[in-house]
Amino acid sequence: MSSAQQPFWGGKRVLVTGAGGFIGSHLVEELVRAGASVRGFVRYNSRNDYGWLEDVAPEVLAEVEIFRGDLANPEAVTGGVEGRELVLHVGALIPIPYSYKHPREYVEANVVGTLNVLEAARRAEVSRIVHTSTSEAYGTAQYVPIDELHPLNAQSPYAATKIGADQLALSYWQSFASPVVVVRPFNTYGPRQTARAVIPTIVAQALTGAIVSLGSVTPTRDFLYVRDTALGMMRCAEVEAIEGETINLGTGVEISIADLAARIFALVGVDAEIETGAERLRPPESEVERLLADVSKAARLLDWRSTVTLDEGLASVIEWMQGSIDAYKPSIYNV
């Protein structure tokens, strides 16, 4: 179901945090196309750089109000939320390897940042807060498919801060009746994803060399195309009477990293060789070995299902990266 076909979004005043990021920039695009009045919260920098929003169509960006600040600054967040009806909270510090090096930054961005969003939204009496979680919160699957009742198990500092943020958001529903919905996407991919993620890592190396350096290739993941993720998030804002719910977004299909690489090599048309990069391996107890989503709740509550197949999505990524390879550094490991 395309939210662009719904009257819900016409003129709706929306704040998207993390608007300059991968998922956030795609979400902004979908919201603008649906007729929403979008304010994009981007982290301030002296270059006046809007992140991946710089890559969206000029006619789309022209419709976006850019708000510069830092989610860890409560005054900035208050200003961003002011006058908004809905908050789609996507902003977070994400790279798992970097979380081993600087976990305190993740607490500030993901936990304190979320607290600031929740407090500002509570004071502004917004009608819905969609808080973005991650499948990493589940850790290695204890059973599959993983439903929303699966135990939470943080295997990295990143995952721990996201669980903390999720629980904080749900506590605001329990404590203050804040209209929170937690959306938990599995492994989102698509154009504009940073090189720290496995699909752009494989594609960038396959396009530029015969050797592809990866970490462990035995884990499996449930890969969800970014437009499907964005439309699922929008459904979490649209549907009535789902406050307090946590909802998975995924495809219900898993693939190992080794098989994923082979599929990408075939689509690129290369005969590449995989080598193990020691620096790319997670600590042994930190590796999440299996993620596979149960998406029945999303189908039931949101009338949402993924629509883009893995091959379709990978072809889109490859086509985009062929024209944007300068945005990547295939020869180095992007932490």
User: pLDDT tens string for the chain (335 positions)?
Assistant: 444 445 899 999 999 999 999 999 999 999 999 999 999 999 988 888 899 999 999 999 999 999 999 999 999 999 999 999 999 999 999 999 999 999 999 999 999 999 999 999 999 999 999 999 999 999 999 999 999 999 999 999 999 999 999 999 999 999 999 999 999 999 999 999 998 899 999 999 999 988 999 999 999 999 999 999 999 999 999 999 999 999 999 999 999 999 999 999 999 999 999 999 999 999 989 999 999 999 999 999 999 999 999 999 999 999 999 998 888 877 677 77
- The secondary structure of residue 165, as a DSSP letter, is H
Delimit the domains of the chain by residue range. 9-193+223-252+292-308
**Do the beta carbons of residue 227 and residue 34 sit within 8 Å?**
no
Distance CA 181, CA 170 (A): 8
Distance CA 328, CA 324 (A): 8
**Do the beta carbons of residue 1 and residue 303 sit within 8 Å?**
yes
Q: In terms of C-beta distances under 8 Å and separation of at least 24 residues, what long-range contacts does 283-289 make, across chains too?
A: 283/100, 285/155, 286/100, 286/155, 286/156, 287/140, 287/155, 287/216, 287/219, 288/136, 288/138, 288/139, 288/140, 288/155, 288/219, 289/140, 289/141, 289/218, 289/219, 289/220
Distance CA 69, CA 45 (A): 9
Three-state DSSP class for residue 64: strand
pLDDT score for 232:
98
With residue 89 as reference, give the H or E element that holds it: strand 86-89
Q: Taking the C-alpha atoms of 101, 104, 109 and 111 in order, what is their torsion angle to the nearest 10 degrees? A: 130
| Backbone angles phi and psi of 88, in degrees to 5 | -105, 105
From the CB of residue 332, how many other CB atoms can be counted at a distance below 10 Å? Answer: 9
Match 């790279």 to its residue by tokens: 95
Distance CA 22, CA 91 (A): 10
Instruction: Enter the pTM of the model.
Output: 0.95
Distance CA 205, CA 202 (A): 5
E strands in 153-305:
180-185, 187-189, 211-214, 220-221, 223-225, 246-249, 255-256, 273-276
CATH fold of 9-193+223-252+292-308, please? Rossmann fold (3.40.50)
Exposed (0-12), middle (13-18) or buried (19+): which is 66, by Cβ within 10 Å? middle
| Backbone angles phi and psi of 132, in degrees to 5 | -90, 120
pLDDT score for 6:
54
> Hey, what are 317's tokens?
């990524």
Match 């919201």 to its residue by tokens: 31
Nearest residue to 124 (alpha-carbon basis) of 178, 66, 180, 69? 178
pLDDT score for 3:
42
From the CB of residue 265, how many other CB atoms can be counted at a distance below 10 Å? Answer: 18
Three-state DSSP class for residue 3: helix
Distance CA 70, CA 35 (A): 27
With residue 310 as reference, give the H or E element that holds it: helix 310-322
Q: At what angle do helices 310-322 and 257-268 cross, to 10 degrees?
A: 60
Parallel, antiparallel or unpaired: strands 180-185 and 220-221: unpaired
